[in-house]
Structure 1
Amino acid sequence: MDTLADLAAEYRGLPRRNVTTAAVIEELRHYDLDVSGLGWLEVQHVDGLAELTALVRWMERVSGQKSNHGEATVLAWADVHGAVAVIDDLDARKAARAGGLTVWGVLRVIAEGVRGGRATEYVASGLVDALLASGARYPFAQGGFLEWARKNGLL
């Protein structure tokens, strides 16, 4: 997580504000995932009137009865605050784009970090392999990030 924090710290030489929602943290804890390495993320509650209105809209677009609630809160917050949403769920990303939001996956954040000189390709590839080993699902096997990123114009 420290490496991801370093990669996400800035974009094109400017500091980046990295935000997640309290609902995402709650969801991670619910699945007994370690959140101790996420101190670099600013945790926001989606509870302002504009945010709640946006949340209802995004829940309708991306959430099933038991899925994508965290993604919906991230999209609602990004929508209200004019931010880039970073989520990996493909269906939620498609819905976000269809709804007019700018949305990236974690892989793009990592690739942008390499392009910005904050990490080598070797470090990025190792990070992505670690994410895959921890259960992340990406469109390539371990060792395939760099080829995939080049093929998709990210590197």
Structure 2
Amino acid sequence: MGLRLVNGDPGEELVVDTGPLSHLAEAGWLGVLRSVAGARKVVVPDAVEYELRRGASTRPHLQQVLGTEWISRSALDTPSENAAFAHFSAFLVSGGRNIGEAAVLAYAQVHGATAVIDDGAARRAAKEAKVRYTGTLGLLCEAVRAGFLTLAMVSSVADHLMETEYRLPFGPGEFEKWAQENGAV
């Protein structure tokens, strides 16, 4: 599902999960998300904000995410949001895990937003429910295709993300080769 990037429609929204925010902040590249979003609103549901706050005491980079003014917060409190959250929770939430992903997908489904998720189970749930989604790497590749970021810059971002134990389908220094071999850019 393609995304329009630079100067996107101001009515469009990206609803972002904890993982992408955490890894981008830890790697020092949170501002790239702001730039890639363009005119689109970046939103985190209350469950993601809770996960960020809970982790901030041991992972100080999360304070950077919580302190941003360009990321909007949204409580899931309408009947349709609660029903969507219950639906996605039934598939994703186990042992207190994946609550953020369920909230991101619920918000995206109800509001027609694009979910930014990296978890495999959440991506499968999004696909099954026909919720528009992308991963962190997908956003970065779209930015390269749009001419907004260079291959060299995204290669650097990818290498820094891997330093935070972010899993990517290639090793350090291999983004450009992977992107070209897979038609990602």
So what's the TM-score if we normalise by structure 1? Answer: 0.87
Determine which structure has greater relative contact order: mean sequence separation of CA pairs < 8 Å that are 6+ residues apart, divided by chain length.
Answer: 2
Residues 1-155 of structure 1: pairs in structure 2 closer than 5 A: 1-9=30-38, 15-32=39-56, 33=59, 34-38=61-65, 39=68, 40-155=70-185
CA RMSD of aligned residues (A): 1.6
Count matched residues: 150
Give the secondary structure class of the aligned counterpart of 1:18: strand
8 Å CA contact 1:96, 1:103 repeated in 2: yes
Q: Which portions of structure 1, spanning 4 or more consecutive aligned residues, are displaced by more than 6 angstroms?
A: none
8 Å CA contact 1:8, 1:113 repeated in 2: no
How far residue 88 of structure 1 moved from its aligned partner, in angstroms, is: 0.4
Cα deviation, 1:56-115, whole Å, max 9, x if unaligned, reads 001012221221110000000000001111100011101210121121101010111112
CA distance in 1, matches of 2:86, 2:36: 32
In structure 1, list runs of 5 or more residues that go unmatched. 10-14
**Structure 2 residue identity aligned to 1:16:** R
In structure 2, list runs of 5 or more residues that go unmatched. 1-29
8 Å CA contact 1:8, 1:110 repeated in 2: no
CA distance in 2, matches of 1:42, 1:103: 18
**Structure 2 residue identity aligned to 1:120:** T
How far residue 25 of structure 1 moved from its aligned partner, in angstroms, is: 2.2
Identity percentage of aligned residues: 35
Give the secondary structure class of the aligned counterpart of 2:84: helix
